[in-house]
């Protein structure tokens, strides 16, 4: 079953990469993003969209990592409280 999940993940990753390459090749027109305090260099639209997608993925992974870390800390704290309660209960019997 694990190999099916790995195969599915690989297929999805290859599909995303393929779509990104096709999108980049079909949008060769150069644009210059003008941010508030910085003018980005003139790049093809496909490259800019790909960079924005990668930045979004990295930020999403970071946010998920922070959230998971907080949940794990809470779980460990609750597990410790449960263990202490079980020891006290066994001591009372």
Count CA atoms closer than 13 A to 43's CA, side-chain side.
14
Triad 53, 56, 57: Cα angle to 5°: 85
pTM greater than 0.85: no
pLDDT in tens, 15-24: 988 887 887 7
End-to-end CA distance of the chain: 45
Phi, psi of 37 (to 5 degrees): -110, 5
The domains of the chain are located at 1-51
Q: Is the pLDDT of residue 32 over 90?
A: no
């Amino acid at each position: 079953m694990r190999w099916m999940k790995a195969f599915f993940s690989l297929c999805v990753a290859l599909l995303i990469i393929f779509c990104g390459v096709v999108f980049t090749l079909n949008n060769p027109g150069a644009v210059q993003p003008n941010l508030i305090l910085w003018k980005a260099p003139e790049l093809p639209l496909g490259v800019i969209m790909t960079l924005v997608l990668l930045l979004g993925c990295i930020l999403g992974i970071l946010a998920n990592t922070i959230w998971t870390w907080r949940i794990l800390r809470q779980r460990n704290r609750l597990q410790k409280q449960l263990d202490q309660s079980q020891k006290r209960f066994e001591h009372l019997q």
